[in-house]
Structure formats: structure tokens, C-alpha cells
Amino acid sequence: MEFDPSQPNAGRIYDYLLGGSHNFAVDRAAAERLVQMIPTIENGARLNRWFLDIAINRLADVGFTRYLDLASGLPTQGYIHEIRPDALVLYNDYDQATVAYAREIIGNNPRVIYHHADIAELESILAQADQHFAGERKLAICIIGVSYFLDDQVLRQTLQRLYDWCSPGSQLAISWLTLPENPNPKLQELLARYQAMGSPIYPRTVAQINQFIAPWTLLEPGFQRLSEWNEIDGTWIIEGDRQADDDQSDMYGTFMIKG
């Protein structure tokens, strides 16, 4: 499928929010409108991507050479195959334009596959994984910047099916948007904006998340804020003169293992 540079694309918008160059004027304009509506969105994108970097390095340190990344978006700005060029990587996304552009970015790299499928079509993704990883199911799995866009049924089914399918010793890195007892106005505005755009967000309490992750085993240090994973405290610079408080304190990252 040919991608249309005259229409904004979610993957290219996200690339722009990350400071990337794989985007067009129409994407940059759409991204700036989003930032005006939801000032926290750029912070969240950066924190999630930095957490991905941390996750890949942590998983590599314990020996993983096969990576399954769910709902990947554009694989730019230091994505998995760039951090671990020796690894086998399977990406996927539901958006055809994102997949088409991502395949152009990856180029002729036999170690990397970009599969067109919705995360809710997990069996299609797992079948592709069996083929790409030659039947090896001890994997590193990444679900970063995704869980809070999945409703309860899809999230529960996804985590359970991944657990049933993968081999013991597999690890999963996942980021969450948590719901505090008294949601702050910024979080409430974020939820309302995404609901209005037709992309509802599903933040969850830590107690609810604990119910979803079973039977996975939570690894140390447990639930930790993305800002803590990234060692960010107080006020930080996004780019140029743009400055923002670390207002993503309700975003967490965790690692889990199949025993």
C-alpha cells in the first residue's frame, strides 16, 4: 500500500513528538494541534520511548535475542532493531499506512519483520512469530505505550494468551497509565480529549493491574514510575526552549516473567 503524505498519520505524528525526521508538514501541524490540546502528550511519548530503550537493554543483558513488539508504530528514533541489530525482531501495527512506511524505513533486513495486524488479532501475530523465530518461544515481549488504549477484555485476553503461548523464562515489558484515587485535572482533561477524538484511554488502579497481570510474575523493582525508570526529577527540557514539568507521574513501567 502507498502511504499518502498529504494526510496526517498517527505513526508519523508520534515520530515528530519524539523529535524524529520521518514525518511531513501535515503530521507536524497535526502534532502541534495535539500538543496545544493535550500538553502532556509529548512528555508521555518521550517517557515511553526512553522506557523502551531501558527495557531493550535490560532484556539484552539477560540474554534475549528475539523480540516481539506489539502495536509498534513507526520503528524510528532508536527502535529495537537499531539498539539490537543482532536480534530477530517482529513488529506489528493495525494501520496500513504506518506498516507501509515502516517497511520502507526497515528496508531489506531479513532479521526484522513488520506484520500488518491489530493487537486484537493476536493469533495472526503469534503465527508470524512462530515463523520468524523458527518456533522458538522464549522471547522478550514489549507492550509499551499501548496497554491503556486496550479495553479490559482485549488487555486480559492478550496478556493471558501471551502467557499461554510463550515458553518459561520469557519476559514482558509493559507501560501503564494508572488511575489515582483523586485524578488530577490534567489526567481528567487527557481522558476527555482522547474520548472526544474517538480513541478512549483506560487508566487503571494498581490493584486492577495486578489482576490483569496474573499469572505473570512481577519482577523487581515492581511498579515504578516512568520518570523514575528514566531518572527524571522535577522540570525537564523536551526540545529547544520548550519546557515542561514531569507531569506524567501516573505512568508506570513493569517487567514480568513466565516462571
Which of residues 79 and 9 earns the better pLDDT score? 79
Q: What mean pLDDT do residues 3-14 have? A: 74
Give the Å distances, CA to CA, from 112 to 19, 23, 68, 133, 134.
23, 22, 10, 10, 13
Q: Which domains does the chain have, with CATH numbers?
A: 39-257 (3.40.50.150)
Q: Contact, 30 vs 10, CB < 8 A? A: no
Q: Residue 186 corresponds to which amino acid?
A: K
Closest residue by Cα to residue 256 from 132, 144, 123: 144
Cα separation, 15 vs 45, whole angstroms: 9
Q: Say whether pLDDT at 95 is over 80.
A: yes
Contact 35, 42 (CB under 8 A): yes
Q: How many other CB atoms sit within 10 Å of the CB of residue 94? A: 14
What mean pLDDT comes out for the span 107-131?
96
Instruction: Dump pLDDT digits (tens) for 185-239.
Output: 777 777 777 777 677 889 898 889 999 999 999 999 999 999 899 775 444 333 4
Grid cell digits, residue 121: 488479532
Span 174-193, average pLDDT? 78
Percent of the chain with pLDDT over 70: 89
Residue 2 pLDDT > 70: no
Burial of 98 (0-12, 13-18, 19+ CB in 10 A): buried
- For the chain, the average pLDDT equals 86
Cβ–Cβ under 8 Å, residues 92 and 125: yes
Averaged over 174-186, what is the pLDDT?
80
Q: Tell me the residue ranges of DSSP E strands in the chain.
A: 66-69, 88-93, 112-116, 140-143, 171-177, 217-218, 224-225, 235-239, 242-245, 251-257
pLDDT one-digit tens code per residue, 34-68: 888 777 778 888 888 889 999 999 999 999 999 99
Q: How far apart are CA 45 and CA 40, in angstroms?
A: 9
Res 170 pLDDT > 90: yes
Is the pLDDT reported for residue 11 higher than 80?
A: no
